[in-house]
Structure 1
């Protein structure tokens, strides 16, 4: 299973989102380090809308997602951009 698939499965199970997008942005970071060509799954963006986030602060939402995905971060996922929202909140996507 790819990081993207694992992340999607974990977020779906933990937060039952009504909207979820996991986007591999690794290619956007090619050349940031001399040895990195932008391939693989090192940089991901998570866009998620879930009722589980209602009443949670933005920091608490980020912490919950980062805690859930800690094994992937420890296994080589270098960067995780998170855009969490509760239903009815404005999103930029």
Structure 2
């Protein structure tokens, strides 16, 4: 199973999200072709209601603990409640920041 598929499966199981997009952005960085080391996750879930941004990110990081320790170099997280998603972000999916260099071999 690919790293991307593992991320999708774990997040679907843990959060039952309203919306989930997992994008492999490795090709935008200084890594070998076909790498799976840089990802953007956009997730909209009930579990984020009433939670601050840092708590939302910690919840996702806990689910992906193994992948973050072994396979993922960078993870851009965009975590929303359903209301936030519908009211503000649905039509304006955010871009990830540009890589400042470095590589993971």
Gaps of 5+ in 2: 94-105
Candidates 47, 52, 74, aligned match of 2:69: 74
What is the correspondence of 1:31-50 to structure 2 with a 5 Å cutoff? Answer: 36-50=31-45
Q: Distance in 2 between matches of 1:7 and 1:26?
A: 15
Alignment correspondent of 1:52 = 47
Alignment correspondent of 2:8 = 8
After TM superposition, where is structure 1 displaced by more than 6 Å over at least 4 residues in a row? none
Q: Distance in 1 between matches of 2:17 and 2:46?
A: 7
Query: Are the equivalent residues in 2 in contact too, given 1:28–1:38 (CA < 8 A)?
Result: no
Q: Secondary structure at the match of 1:67?
A: helix
- Displacement of 1:38: 4.7
Q: Secondary structure at the match of 1:77?
A: coil
RMSD of aligned residue pairs (Cα, Å): 1.1
Alignment correspondent of 2:97 = none
- Displacement of 1:39: 3.1
Q: Secondary structure at the match of 2:83?
A: coil
